[in-house]
Structure 1
């Protein structure tokens, strides 16, 4: 379900040898100035041109060098990922400070909500941003109502970076807050006793302990934004295409050779980064602090830090709640600005009147639910198996752990392309052509994308089980399977439930592979239906987005209620 499709992409990309790869690397469209540097490295410094900077104080003028580089497709993909990572850090660090250093009602729930990037469908986020920043979106309605000119943010780099920050800033906050809570308060107090100022104690004691977590979150965010697909496709289109979007465009044009080469280059890059992430995450894991610093009350006398935190809360509500609220509002707002249920009525009517080739909303909902349930039957056992393997001591355990997490580093577009070119088109075996297409192919893609989340939810809990208890049970005659079912599984059950809910939500929101595998058929899901509606009518797209939000929100409620905080990425 995973390695064979990825191998299919590898074979497709290297069928004619390695020469086409050199053509890609040497093509300025893909690698910009770095392609020219293959034959003439001097362009890397001759392209650095002087620019002038006029300071507002006096008449001083500074001349500084700046690379005037054409980045190409891969360069632009990395560039927008760097900007998105920086924006996520800027938005996420204050959130980490709020969660780690302040006490307020509902803090555990807010901390649980930082896991939303893993369960919120990206195409739904894109719909929310269109409803917020589109030509007739919430922001422009407020601006024009106030007598101000509207802003045009759609199909700009700024809105892509902002949408990526919406997705990944909570992840930064979650990872850094966990590290912040593990800082022993007594060490900071000792530094203060020895004469260090609060700023010096923070810089010399706290920051070094937060830096590994921050770098881990930044690396993870860079991987996510480098492989981003749905957000860039919906908010940037081909004008601001990344590698993922261009691979999809090549697949849509039946240029499978180019798609395979680009997908392979991207996969090698993302796998390298993911391996670095896993190594870095393992190094920065640490036990909880023996005496974490006491949290301050969020509600209290006006102080500088409380004012700053409340300012951040206002910005966070605008950035994180605004797009979802705008989507909800747009789904019940008519062209005249009044409240209406016409968009939901359109979905009902479309089900009855749509032609065979058109999207039927109820069919999309039922397909999503069917794929979600079916993928659980595959992803949960797979996730449990890799969780057990990753917590056992044996030669090659780190390799197994890395291999088990490989789907996390390979985009859904690559998996979908591999399934399409392999199992969907058919594989000759012993004189027969074996075809795995339709719903089975979609379920396979969803299960592959979901099972790493089961593994990451269960493995931390498995690692905390006392090994002597397991050894005693084996000594008393219990089989390995009996020990697993009677001792280990009951202790990690909250993580299993959390992983199951994660897997179901991931399947419900999966877009990257589904949009490739469901093209031209009736196997489309709610995210695919939303993308097709966006290009025609925003109202029905927001209504379908609200339906998807309800389903994924219910899944997340299961995570929070049953799974608790038992594991998960960065947990």
Structure 2
């Protein structure tokens, strides 16, 4: 080998050794620049006024009757009611999935990941099509000779929509816990003379309670920070914290918005900390090695108890159809119907708007193009970030736990706060060594989307990495492979299903992201399908449902990929 060849042979391994630390450092820089700095900007603006450090803006929020009662109080109140509704709809679903066997059970369980995939603005437009004055529900009631109902812009509509979004999450968490109950413990209780109800109360329910508490806590956190659903179904008259922050930003009241965002973030972080502590104490309960046997849901006898059980399941199925299936079908139906019956007029409107619309009007093709391009760009950024964080957070020790905590912080901070921070910081520009640096338009949106998406990549990849035999990596390292080469050649092929599922999550979350996008999008160069749905909804329902149906097709494709490869979300 020539001298040049020997030099290259020595350089290549050195480059490989530096590759993983370099990607990890880049991930840290990206998080620092596009997450921690923007969020820090919001915090600073809430305590610095005219160059002076003061707590007056935050104190005004916490002492104002309007903010304390009408905004924060109402936000907590609707989140509490939404949590109760989600539990009421989600717990029976967990009972059906955990205790019965029936055709389509696996598909039904897979559907419980939809809250992570379906764009919330699309859910809102589905509820408008279902429960609006001229919606599907009122059409059915009028056909039956009954009076119509007016549910839009009511608290009830917001609560039901939140239950649509969060009840599947409750079902998923509790089903996993129910399937981890050891059947031998129940058999022992029955053998000692306990009735079925007593065995459930004394053996099963105590093991389900932690999962119920986790599901309720997560639901409260999510509904406390809800934005698109409340904006579309409640408006400013039912404003929550997120909606009011958006109004303040729209009115250019940035200091007041920053103060309110700081208070909201503090509450969300506290709730998330409580959830993580509780989940950490309760994780690992139940072995699942000897799960309770499932009964067939199909009729086997005319026993009164079995008949009553199946009637209860049937009644629950009707409620599920109304609350979960109805809004999505209503949106699709509304997109192809009008006063004259079946029609493609709404889709023709989108085509005509694209061809003849003014520059300032929202056109469908740029929205579709931007959503897909932003999704692909988000995927390119979020996937390596999520994988690297998954590698760094796998294992024991306070250092890895610190990495996991710092990296997962975006899950506890709303998109509105991140968008506000990016707007006030990098979008407006910052001085770096005398040079004005600004991140605007598509770059800012992709940055916000990547911050929101990469934790889902980590949550898909990290559990699989932690289950790999460490001797596999040690063997590769002993044969001369760098840590990066061992990850690429050994670990990633073994966890490829989690990588693919995480990639699908990242793309779907970007396509459906509304909170930060609506703040950062400006002009036809950056608005997306969710933003277009919201803009059309403010004028005409038909075009909004047509655009929502197109958005449904894109997110449905992501769901198929996640359902195929995301088996770890079953646990």
Q: Which ranges of 4 or more aligned residues in structure 1 deviate by more than 3 Å?
A: 519-522
Unaligned runs of 5+ residues in structure 2 are 1-33
The aligned residue for residue 140 of structure 1 is: 138
Is 1:11 aligned to residue 11 of structure 2? no
Q: Counterpart in 2 of 1:262?
A: 260
Tell me the residue number matched to 2:331.
327
Q: CA deviation at 1:520?
A: 4.7
Could you tell me how far apart the structure 1 residues matched to 2:396 and 2:188 are? 39
Question: Counterpart in 1 of 2:219?
Answer: 221
In the alignment, the residues of structure 2 paired with residue 442 and residue 13 of structure 1 have an alpha-carbon distance, to the nearest angstrom, of: 23
CA contact (8 A) 1:112 1:565 kept: no
Distance of 1:520 and 1:261 partners within structure 2: 28
Please tell me whether the aligned partners of residues 181 and 288 of structure 1 are also in contact (alpha carbons under 8 angstroms).
no
- 1:504-523 to structure 2, matched below 5 A, reads 504-520=507-523, 522-523=525-526
Check if 1:22 corresponds to 2:59. yes
1:494 and 2:497 are equivalent in the alignment? yes
Q: How many residues align?
A: 528
- Measure how far apart 1:307 and its partner are: 1.7
Contact 1:498-1:566 within 8 A present in 2 as well: no
* Rounded Cα–Cα distance in structure 2 between residues aligned with 1:288 and 1:491: 24
CA contact (8 A) 1:119 1:556 kept: yes
Q: 1:428 to 1:521 in 2, by over 3 A?
A: farther
Maintained 8 Å contact 2:94/2:175: yes
CA deviation vs aligned residue, 1:246-285 (integer Å, no higher than 9, x gap):
0000000000001100001101110111122222223322
Query: Which runs of structure 2 are paired with 1:62-141 in the superposition (5 Å)?
Result: 72-141=70-139
CA distance in structure 2 between the aligned counterparts of 1:245 and 1:185, rounded to whole angstroms: 47
1:409-558 paired onto structure 2 within 5 Å = 409-520=412-523, 522-558=525-561
SS of the residue corresponding to residue 115 of structure 1 reads helix
Task: Please say if residues 85 and 163 of structure 2, whose CA atoms lie closer than 8 Å, have aligned partners that are also in contact.
Answer: yes
How much does 1:106 deviate?
A: 1.8
Equivalent residues in 2 for 1:257-296, closer than 5 Å: 257-286=255-284, 288-296=287-295
Paired with 2:178 and 2:405, the residues of 1 have a C-alpha distance of 27
Counterpart residue number, 1:354: 357
Partners of 2:87 and 2:414 in 1: how far apart? 23
Mapped pair 1:299 → 2:298: yes
Gaps of 5+ in 1: 33-71
1:58 aligns to what? Answer: none
Could you tell me how far apart the structure 2 residues matched to 1:292 and 1:371 are? 43
Q: Which of 345, 357, 361 pairs up with 2:348? A: 345
Aligned to 1:308: 312
The answer to whether residue 153 in structure 2 is matched with residue 155 in structure 1 is: yes
User: What's the CA shift for 1:142?
Assistant: 1.3
Secondary structure of the structure 1 residue equivalent to 2:567: coil
What TM-score comes out, normalization by structure 1 length? 0.91
Give 1:521 shift. 5.1
Contact kept in structure 2, 1:275 and 1:402, CA below 8 Å: no
**Deviation, structure 1 residue 9:** 0.6
C-alpha separation in 1, matches of 2:142 and 2:85: 27
Equivalences for residues 228-267 of structure 1 within 5 A: 228-267=226-265
State how far apart, in whole Å, the 1-side matches of 2:414 and 2:524 are: 22
Higher helix fraction (1 or 2): 2
Aligned-pair CA distance for 1:397: 2.3
Aligned position for 2:322:
318
Report the Cα distance in structure 1 between the residues aligned to 2:185 and 2:40, rounded to whole angstroms.
Answer: 51
TM-score, with structure 2 as normaliser: 0.91
CA contact 2:441–2:522 (8 Å) conserved in 1? no
Q: CA deviation at 1:485?
A: 1.4
TM-aligned CA deviation for residue 483 of structure 1: 1.8
Distance (whole Å) between structure 2 residues aligned to residue 94 and residue 138 of structure 1: 26
Q: Distance in 1 between matches of 2:505 and 2:281?
A: 25
Partner in structure 1 of residue 567 of structure 2 = 565
- Work out the CA distance in 2 between the residues paired with 1:392 and 1:25: 41
Deviations 1:13-37 (A, max 9, x none): 11121122112111000113xxxxx
Q: CA deviation at 1:305?
A: 1.7
Deviation of the 1:469 alpha carbon: 2.9
